[in-house]
Structure 1
Amino acid sequence: MPALVRHHWWLCAALALSGAAHAQTSAPQPPAGPGASAPVAADAAEPAASAPVVNSDIDAPLFYQLLIGELELQGGQPGVAYQVMLDAARRTGDEELFRRVVQIALQARAGDQAVIAARAWRDAVPTSLEAHRTLIQLFALLNRPAEIAPVMRSLLAITPPDARAGLLAGLPGLFQRNPEPVRVQEALEPLLREAAARPETRFVALMVLARLAQVAGNYESALIQTRAAAKDFPDRDEPLAMALELLPHRPEAEALITAELQAHPDKQSLRIAYGRALARAQRPADAAREFRILTQESPDIAGHWLALGSLELDLQHPDAAEAALQRYMALVGSRPPPTTLAERAAEAAGLNQGDKEARQQGQLLLAQAAEMRGDFKAAEALLAQIDAAPGNLDIAYRRASLLGRQGKLDQGLKLLQALPVERDQDRRARVLAESQLLRENRQWQAAYDLLGKAVAQSPEDADLIYEQSMMAEKLGRAQEMEALLQKVIELKPQHYHAYNALGYSLADRNERLVEARDLISKALSFAPGEPFIVDSMGWVEFRLGRLGEAERLLRQAYGSRPDPEIAAHLGEVLWAAGRQDEARRIFADASRRDPRNEALQATMQRLQVRP
């Protein structure tokens, strides 16, 4: 540390400690305690080892300038302290003083003054990496991204080539919570394109460009950069991870993942992530395909079987789900008992809940599979085996659902209503569970009334209003449903289910079809490829008389999610196209999986198709 700095901090420490030192020397000394050594006379003490003397360059005017600055700061005058200390820093070019001035400005919440000090620091010491980094961080903090690029260029120029990529990689982190991501992308894109032209920074620059574009909602640009990174750096996994993130917004990103899995089918981590992304995108059939491969390649990994069982349930395949879940339970049950002292202690203390929770999850899903098969007795027996905490909503709902399907709806509702509610979110979850149970049992008016009371208490809850709109639709109140959905969109402009529901309702009533198509297109802009929204688009195309496009879209939706309602739409389009035999096969397959589906049964009845 320079001599000037040592004297500066000695001065500050001396000012802070002088009062305490004076008090210690003037206060009476306590008597020595038991066993204490007798005081040693000062003249008898051994001389201390002499430290080397370092002369400071500080002169008297600077000494008093620093003293005044610190005194002003301690006296509650940070503005005066800032000016005095900044002048001293400029005159000396001392980095420690510049750092101190920036700190004073930040403590006073004076962002512009902090920038002035950091700029002065950078100008006084052009080779200072810290000065450049401080200035960049301040610009990010103050949401001034356009001013970062020239400073970053200067910083890259003085940074060793092997460290430049790391600097660029940190840029997205500076703007994680920035309210204007589009402005950030536009400000930094020229700098990053320059970096992408250099071999040592090309990969990182491409990935940062992709990340900034993704955060800004510019998914097309993000995909272009991701493709370029994947092409030029085929051994890196980051482009594939980005492609998975882009999948819900740009279905074309899937080609990068499938090509990699085709070339390297043993990449299990990628296949797992791909399967999960497909499940999140409401494509259970495609996700189940990937987890079937995983169970074949690694049959002893319990998590693969659990995921497959859950997906088979979603696909209304209770037998396949049960087989996968039984395998999962066998693997969970075959885990070796605790052997180490720490493992046994954790088990004795009840801390090792992993296996217990795993078994509970498997039993809950097995109960759902039994219920789906109509074996209510087996489902109830499985639920009774679950040792869960009182008030567990998932288990309570499954029991209530069983009661409802056996004609004991009132008992099921009482079971849910008895659940404890300590927080508003508990009460909300219970209302949604009750309304779902009423919906399953076709009690539209009761569900509507229940949701109406909840909305009256929480008028800004878009999800509750959305559920109420669905009940209004079931009651034939189309205008009310439309008003409720418009309210949802007003509260939550990215609520794509609301756009889809409104567009589909218009198409189903064969009204305002152009508007319906625009609404569904809006929903697809938020969730491209989501099967139920693709189904809605296929249905509006059918209403518009475009049978070819309707069939293409409905096949796409049905292939990703073989849902009975999508099957009803696809079957009707095929029927209208004169392919009744194929339509009958689709109706029959969907009826086997869900014979109670209203939309399917209504379509078959209207077309006079026998089950």
Structure 2
Amino acid sequence: MLSVKGKFKQLRHFAGTAAAALALAACAGLPHGKAAAPASRQPLDRLTVVTPDAEHDVLAQLLAGEMALTRNDLKDASTRYDRAMAISDDPKVAQRAVELALAVHDEPAARRAIARWQALGAGTADLAQARAELALATGDTAGAREQLERLIGSGDPHAWRRFGRVLIGARDPAQAGQLLEALATPERLPAEPQAWLAMSELGDKLGRTRYAAMVAAAAVARFHDAETYAWAAQMKFKAGDRQGAAALLRQALARSPNDVRLRLSYASLLSQGGDYAAASRLLDKGPQSAETYALRAALAAQAHDRKAIAQLYAQLQRAPADVRESNAFLLGQLAEMQDRKDEALAWYDQVGDDDPHAFDADLRSAVILHAQGKVADAHALLEQLETAYLDQPEELRRAWQADAELYMREEHYLEAARAYDHALQVLPDDPGLLYGRGLAFAEAGKIDQAVADFRHLLKLRPNDVDASNALGYTLADAGRDLPEAKKLIEVARAAKPHDPAIADSWGWLQYRLGHLDEAARALRQAWNAAKDADVGVHLGEVLWKLGKRDDARHVFEQVRKLDPHNANLRETVQRLEP
């Protein structure tokens, strides 16, 4: 498309060539050798095309301003609209100039634009809003109050919405809060509950908690509708008054019993208080949504209520096709909870690519495939995810981490470490990934690399108890730097005195130090607290060294029942009983 300037050039060129062609045609029509008589001037001879320069061309300035906006260059856009406003009679151009000047905090330009907008017929409310914003931007509280008073009294049907917009955009929240409390009083607010709720919410955002709660309570007393009760309940909850919040939500539900949002809010409050049964009863009846189904499933899982899980699964299976389709991911989760792995895979396969749970559905599918022994299929699916989500770092990290964890389950520790490497390239210094790779290196016998990862993690998070324990255990297991290992594990024990994993580390350190009785006591404590296979292997070895071989064999047999393929058990028994 030709630019405006190009069009003007083309028109001038057309006028000149047309005049020349007419002159030649006139000469050609005369008898040879006779001078041409003066010809009357043709219309095109008299054509004058006005070609304003870019500085005085409204369209050119507006186009340049819009181009600046596409580049997010607000300063240049403001300059362009400032020029356009000065030579345009369109009040919308002046309005845009005001908005941009305020956005870039250009006080002189804003004043010019407001004056021009007024001259072009801007309304009282428009001018009052703009002048209030300018006054707030320049710290003129008195001026802002005067203009906000004018805005409120303008009769504009959206005056209070505009009022809120001015204050929420203020650079100084304290100044905005002061004006809010002074002007948006219950005596002045209109007879519309939405305005009261909006002012209360604005007060909450500006840190005026007491004002927000006061307006919310006054709205309840005046309007008695479900929405005001719900907002007042939210204020009570934020203030730590759970009982008050629950009472208000009950009143809200009494007025609007089928409101899904209210039922969800009340059920969430009940569940946070540990009353899962009451929360479930509340959600079981009445209209259902994706959110109610999801919360019902979460409540059943928290309560370990397999019957409720089965009932919800059956209910969703009987639901209309569109409901099943929109809840395919939840159906997959419910199937998994019931150990119906093939059904879970089928549901996850039905989750659409545009569904927000698409990634999680594929991730869960990979875990299920791996549990079913389809190891190659699981890793292949994760490879596809790693390719598909290259531009989404968080999902990419989770895919690599899942890949690594599956390799850890297979005892392919170097492959796990490589997967963690890939994830750490996406999110360097991620604590969870560093911890995972450290464990993988330790299991693979790459002690130097494991120690390096755990040390780096402790530099990033000096108070990380798990990292302290992991480094201490790794050093103790390798029989090196035992004094440092002791300090690290003591720190972990002080933070988590009843943690079985830390008790295992302490017991294994005592074994390395030759304190067999202390080792046996610590490891017995850890084994009794949690029947972990590796803890049992450690306890069995210490008992063996104490000469209690029957006791050791008994523990080894218990470990074998827990984990028949445990590599540590196999290696330890072969070493003790070659």
Deviation digits for residues 150-190 of structure 1 (CA, Å, limit 9, x no counterpart): 21112223x23xx57x42233444566x595xx23532433
Q: 1:193 aligns with which of 162, 182, 185?
A: 182
Aligned residue-pair number: 406
> What's the counterpart of residue 162 of structure 2?
170
State whether structure 2 residue 342 is matched by structure 1 residue 383.
no
Residues in 2 aligned to 1:256 and 1:506: alpha-carbon distance in whole angstroms = 41
Structure 2: how far apart are the matches of 1:433 and 1:467? 14
- 1:552-574 per-residue CA deviation (whole Å, 9 max, x = no partner) reads xxxxxxxxxxxx99xxxxxxxxx
Partner of 1:133: 129
Judged with a 3 Å threshold, the aligned counterparts in structure 2 of structure 1 residues 428 and 99 are, in CA distance, closer, same or farther, namely closer
Between 1 and 2, higher relative CO (CA 8 Å, sep ≥ 6) is seen in 1
The aligned counterpart of 1:117 is 112
> 2:433 is matched with which residue?
468
Are positions 1:320 and 2:308 aligned together?
A: yes
Query: CA distance change for structure 1 residues 452 and 400 in 2, over 3 Å: closer, same or farther?
Result: same
Specify which of 425, 436, 450 is matched with residue 456 of structure 1: 425
Q: Identity of counterpart residues, as a percentage?
A: 13
Q: Which amino acid aligns with 2:425?
A: A
Q: Deviations over 1:68-96 (max 9, x none)?
A: 9995868979999979998x99xxxxxx7
Per the alignment, residue 72 of structure 2 pairs with: none
Supply the distance in 2 between the matched residues of 1:277 and 1:27 (Cα, whole angstroms).
82
User: Relative to structure 1, is the Cα distance of residues 305 and 384 closer, same or farther in structure 2, using a 3 angstrom cutoff?
Assistant: closer
CA distance in 1, matches of 2:167, 2:532: 48
In structure 2, give the amino acid aligned to 1:295. D
- Describe the shift of the 1:331–1:245 C-alpha distance in structure 2 as closer, same or farther (beyond 3 A): farther
* Paired amino acid for 1:167: A
Aligned equivalents of 2:233, 2:54: Cα separation in 1: 54
Partner of 1:207: 197
After TM superposition, give the deviation of residue 265 of structure 1 in Å. Answer: 3.8
| Structure-2 separation of matches of 1:384 and 1:100 | 57
Counterpart selection for 1:261 from 246, 250, 265: 250
2:319 to 315, 327, 331: 331
Is the CA contact 2:167–2:176 (under 8 Å) kept in the aligned structure 1? no
CA deviations 1:450-503 (Å, max 9, x no partner) are 3443233433xxxx81432664797898764443447xxxxxxxxxxxxxxx68
The one-letter code sitting in structure 1 at the alignment partner of 2:281 is R
Q: Which amino acid aligns with 1:361?
A: F
Residue 363 of structure 2 corresponds to 397
Q: How does 1:462-611 map to 2 (within 5 A)?
A: 465-468=430-433, 471=436, 480-485=456-461
Which residues in structure 2 correspond to 1:332-371 (within 5 Å)? 332=320, 354-355=322-323, 357-358=325-326, 360-371=328-339
CA shift, 1:380, in A, is 1.6
Structure 1, gaps ≥5 residues long = 1-15, 29-66, 90-95, 334-353, 372-377, 487-501, 510-539, 546-563, 566-594, 602-611
Give secondary structure in 1 for the equivalent of 2:338.
helix
Q: Are 2:379 and 1:432 equivalent residues in the alignment?
A: no
Give the 3-state SS of the residue equivalent to 2:320 in structure 1.
Answer: helix
Give the 3 Å change call, closer, same or farther, for CA 68–332 of structure 1 in structure 2: closer
Give, in whole Å, the separation in 1 of the partners of 2:175 and 2:275. 37
Partners of 1:452 and 1:80 lie apart in 2 by: 51
1:60 is matched with which residue? Answer: none
Q: Which has the larger radius of gyration?
A: 2
Instruction: Give 2:129's aligned amino acid.
Output: R
- Residue 421 of structure 1 is matched in structure 2 by 387
> Retained in 1: the 8 A contact 2:328–2:350?
yes
Q: Distance in 2 between matches of 1:384 and 1:79?
A: 59
Pick closer, same or farther for the CA change 1:27–1:382 going to 2, 3 Å: same
CA contact (8 A) 2:300 2:308 kept: yes
How well do the aligned residues superpose, as a CA RMSD in angstroms?
5.9
CA deviation string 1:302-349 (max 9, x = no partner) = 87445413442355434321211211221235xxxxxxxxxxxxxxxx
Q: In 2 relative to 1, CA 427–107 (structure 1 residues): closer, same or farther, beyond 3 Å?
A: closer
- 2:125 partner letter: L
Change (3 A) 1:297 1:504: farther
Q: Secondary structure at the match of 1:424?
A: coil
Q: Give me the TM-score of the superposition, normalised by structure 2.
A: 0.51
Deviation at 1:504, TM superposition (A): 7.3
The aligned residue for residue 50 of structure 1 is: none
- In structure 2, distance between residues paired with 1:478 and 1:80: 57
Change (3 A) 1:80 1:172: closer
- Relative distance call for 1:148 and 1:291 in structure 2 (3 A) is farther
AA aligned to 2:225 is D
* Secondary structure class of the residue paired with 1:198: coil
- CA, structure 1 residues 222+483, in 2 after alignment: closer, same or farther (shift >3 Å)? farther
Q: What is the letter of the counterpart of residue 327 of structure 1?
A: Q
Q: Distance in 2 between matches of 1:400 and 1:271?
A: 34
Give the Cα–Cα distance (whole angstroms) in 2 for the partners of residues 149 and 283 of structure 1.
43
Instruction: Give the AA of the match of 2:333.
Output: L
Letter of the 1:148 counterpart: A
TM-score by length of 1: 0.49
Deviations 1:412-461 (A, max 9, x none): 334322446234345642441452475589659776763443233433xx
Q: Cα–Cα, structure 1 residues 306 and 356, in superposed 2: closer, same or farther, change >3 Å?
A: same
Does the CA-based 8 Å contact 1:291-1:304 persist in structure 2?
A: no
Task: Tell me which residue corresponds to 2:282.
Answer: 293
AA paired with 1:129? A
* Separation (CA, whole Å) in 2 of partners of 1:227 and 1:506: 49
In structure 1, distance between residues paired with 2:435 and 2:187: 55
Check the 8 A contact 1:136/1:151 in 2, yes or no: yes
Which amino acid in structure 2 is aligned with residue 365 of structure 1?
Q
Secondary structure in 1 matching 2:187: coil
Q: Deviations over 1:387-420 (max 9, x none)?
A: 4568954343333323444566665334322446
Change (3 A) 1:421 1:111: same
How big is the shift at 1:294?
2.9
Shift of 1:221: 5.7
- Partners of 1:328 and 1:197 in 2: how far apart? 47
Aligned residue for 2:550? Answer: none
Structure 2 CA distance, aligned partners of 1:99 and 1:359? 47
Q: Which amino acid aligns with 2:341?
A: A
Q: Distance in 1 between matches of 2:204 and 2:495?
A: 35
Whole-Å separation in 2 of the counterparts to 1:265 and 1:597: 51
Alpha carbons of structure 1 residues 282 and 185: separation in structure 2 relative to 1, 3 Å = farther
Q: Deviations over 1:479-536 (max 9, x none)?
A: 64443447xxxxxxxxxxxxxxx68769999xxxxxxxxxxxxxxxxxxxxxxxxxxx
Task: Extract unaligned runs of 5+ from structure 2.
Answer: 1-6, 20-51, 63-77, 443-450, 471-491, 501-529, 537-578
**Matched ranges for 1:33-112 at <5 A:** 71=56, 111-112=106-107
Contact (CA 8 Å) 2:129, 2:163: kept in 1 or not?
no
Give yes or no for contact 2:267–2:279 (8 Å, CA) kept in 1.
Answer: no
Distance in 2 between residues matched to 1:71 and 1:450, nearest whole Å:
62
Cα deviation, residue 295, structure 1? 1.7
